[in-house]
């Protein structure tokens, strides 16, 4: 009888230990996920701020609409059809 009780108690202890261990691991995973999400959000916010600052600088120059930045997307927009010229006054 004592052996069975001891065995049962041991089993319960082991189950509780495993349960606690799993809960701790879940907590750690949640913390890591939250930290990663926060870092990603911070990075996105920083990128947005940088983009806004760049746009403001271009607006201050006043030339951004005349000479758009050359990149792969806008490269084709900068060419005029044959026979048209840009006239600039001095």
- Token look-up 């750690």 returns 28
Kindly report, residue by residue over 7-63, the tens digit of the pLDDT: 888 888 999 999 999 999 999 999 999 999 999 999 999 999 999 888 887 766 555
In a domain, 78, yes or no: no
In a domain, 42, yes or no: yes
The DSSP call for residue 88 is: -
Residue 5 domain boundaries: 1-54
Residues near 74 by Cβ (< 8 Å), separated by ≥ 6? 68
In a domain, 83, yes or no: no
Residue 3's pLDDT is 84
In a domain, 81, yes or no: no
- The total of structural domains in the chain comes to 1
Distance CA 72, CA 63 (A): 20
Q: What six digits make up the tokens of 23? A: 């809960």
In a domain, 8, yes or no: yes
Residue 4's pLDDT is 87
pTM (two decimals): 0.44
| SS3 state at 70 | coil
In 3D space, the residue among 49, 28, 31, 51 whose CA is nearest the CA of residue 39 turns out to be 31
């Amino acid at each position: 009888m004592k052996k069975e009780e001891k065995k049962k108690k041991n089993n319960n202890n082991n189950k509780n230990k495993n349960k606690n261990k799993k809960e701790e691991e879940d907590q750690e995973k949640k913390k890591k996920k939250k930290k990663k999400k926060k870092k990603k959000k911070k990075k996105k916010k920083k990128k947005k701020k940088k983009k806004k600052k760049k746009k403001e600088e271009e607006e201050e120059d006043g030339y951004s609409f005349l000479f758009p930045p050359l990149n792969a997307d806008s490269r084709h927009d900068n060419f005029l059809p044959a026979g048209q010229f840009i006239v600039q006054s001095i």
